[in-house]
Amino acid sequence: LQGNSHPHLSQFRRDGFLVLEQFFSTEECDSMRSQIQGIIEGMEVPPHCRTEFSTREEEQLQAQGSSDYFLTSGDKIRFFFEKGVLDKKGNFLIPKEKSISKIGHALHAHDPVFKQITHSSKVQELGRKLGLERPVVVQSMYIFKGLKDLQQPSLLAVTPHQDATFLHTEPLGRILGFWIALEDATQENGCLWFIPGSHTNGITRRMVRSPSGASTCVEFVGSEPAYDDSQFIPLPIKKGGLILIHGEVVHKSELNSSESSRHAFTFHVMEAKGTSWSKENWLQPTPELPFPSLYT
């Protein structure tokens, strides 16, 4: 990402992430939270769609991979559940609002509140400061980061990864994540952790669509290296703060060991100028939803 010589931007280029406190107002955060409450209240989950979401590789392959529900969610608003919240018949064991891991992947296109936030003038202005010429929005997610009273809290950690593993471009370096804290994110409730400067070494693992006829819809090519835990630094951030995330920076979050939730809204932007989106990515633009321009 180019951009002028603003000190923040040189910091972003050096570290691969940038924390911008108080980027969104309390009112904007609350409007997203109340909007998602309404979406959950109206949620109808067909039993065959009760896909459990997991970040562990094998479970990712079983749960997401065997499921068209995941693969075809790029242009829809769909629900992904924590492990252990559904019984064998697919009925909820706990209140449904506590059972959801995330909602994705097209809130930015189909919901007026999330669309307004994604395309807000301050986000567009930030894109221009970063030197983005033809940014398009590729996906969005509302992440709940469940509490420890769920049966299997150890599964609520997000293992170290690079976003470009899932959203691959040629060349690399064209994906940018916007991560918005809708509540204070602390070390106790699962804030993000980063390895500064880890965005300069390319990627070692890709999640790709499987050839037709395979037992899963996606598979991993390559493997994630073992990262040294001591290299990660935590980025606690207050409600309304924004973290910019380079597509190749290594980051993770630990499980939420607190009594408070940690809601976040996140979306990914691609610089489309001179960039090709991999046909092997799980997420593909569709005739119904070509990737919309960030600039309106």
- pLDDT of 185-228, one tens digit each? 999 999 999 999 999 999 999 999 988 777 778 899 999 999 99
- The Cα–Cα gap between 208 and 124 comes to 30
CATH among 3.30.930.10, 3.40.50.720, 2.60.120.620, 3.30.420.10 for 7-277: 2.60.120.620
pLDDT at residue 83 in the model: 73
- Which pLDDT band, with edges at 50, 70 and 90, does 27 fall under? very high
Q: Which residue, chain included where needed, has tokens 């909820």?
A: 92
Mean pLDDT of the chain: 88
Q: Which residue, chain included where needed, has tokens 């952790």?
A: 193
- Which pLDDT band, with edges at 50, 70 and 90, does 47 fall under? low
* Residues of the chain by 3-state class (helix, strand, coil), percent to 5: 25, 25, 50
Closest by Cα among 179, 130, 145 to 21:
179
Mean per-residue pLDDT, 243-263: 92
Torsion of CA 207, 211, 213, 214, to 10 degrees: -40
Higher pLDDT, 54 or 142: 142
Write down the domain spans for the chain. 7-277
pLDDT at residue 216 in the model: 79
